[in-house]
Amino acid sequence: MRQVKKFNSLSMDNTSIDDDSLDIIEHFENLEYLSTKLERVVNKLLTKDHLKSFKYMEPLNKSSIKVLPKSVTSVHLHNVNNDSINQIEAFLEQNPSIRDVTMEIKYSNEIAFLIKNFRLVRFHFTDIGPTLYSFLQAYAYIHPEFISFAQPATDPDQRVYEILFNRLTNRRQLFYPYIKTAQFGSLVHKVTANLVESPQWMLDQISTFDEFQKCLCKTFNIVQLSNNYFNKVLKSQLNDFDEVEYLHIIVSTYNDVFQLGGNVEQITTIIQYMTEEEKISIDRQQFFQLYSLHSTNPQLNNQK
């Protein structure tokens, strides 16, 4: 390396480097392209102005290299499927001089997020994953003046979703039962995680069940939800999460939407102390019977 005066491209996949080699690389004044895992190498070039392009050899979430020289305008990200959209956003914010990014993308709706938030960056997507949001939903994210929200639902089960959307701060607890019921399989956790990581502005577009249903049908390639879909959703809501605050929100929401007049505190406590077998076996009718058995209406209680 000492004998080479002009190096414009360097790719090194070694995991360590000695000080002598590091000093030599620092003096490659014609080096324009670099690919490495070593933060020490990049740090040596932070004050230089000749490096133009950098290619990662590992995902951002595993790489110690977060800040590149300001001269770098082109970046090739590695295996972005292992990175969240928030990590990519943080990386681009830390490196505002970047103008050209080549990358994979986990979900095509994330393209809209990147284009909207980094308008000065030109993106090249080499591998695009499935989409969760519809094209119109993604387009409306970039151009909110064209957004057209669906009307709130009149069906009570759909209203439950819309109220839970506002009451549950844990988005996984909100989405998981609806996604799991639509398509039980390996994609459930991945799709749930993607929705949870979506920016709030895009989540707001699926605050109505009508718009959320479009996401489900498009993602899982189904024409319509099954007839007993909401029965299974309820069973998942009662079985898959056992936090008291969560159960209280579920019980109170069904109580409000269906106007059941039940004692929410008592019913929540009953469900909380049910055995696993009892929770699994409870059906929709039995669940609603709890409200009549534990009503806030004294006359109903006297009739038991």
pLDDT of residue 186: 72
Q: Is 98 left (phi over 0), alpha (psi -120 to 50) or beta?
A: beta
pLDDT tens for each residue of 240-267: 998 999 999 999 999 999 999 999 999 9
pLDDT tens for each residue of 87-113: 899 999 999 999 999 998 877 778 888
pLDDT of residue 77: 94
Q: Which two tokens stand for residue 224?
A: 């319509």
Asked if 72 contacts 41 with a C-beta cutoff of 8 angstroms, the reply is no
pLDDT of residue 171: 94
Nearest alpha carbon to residue 251 among 265, 241, 240: 265
pLDDT of residue 80: 72
CA distances from 245 to 207, 234, 250, 268, 286 (A): 21, 16, 9, 9, 21
pLDDT of residue 146: 63
pLDDT of residue 1: 52
Tally of CB atoms within 10 A around 294: 20
* Spans of the chain, pLDDT less than 70: 1-6, 81-82, 130-131, 135, 141, 145-150, 184, 297-304
Domain map of the chain by residue range?
Answer: 9-128, 156-293
pLDDT of residue 92: 96
pLDDT of residue 192: 86
CA distances from 192 to 158, 189, 220 (A): 19, 5, 13
pLDDT of residue 148: 61
Residue with tokens 């995991």: 15
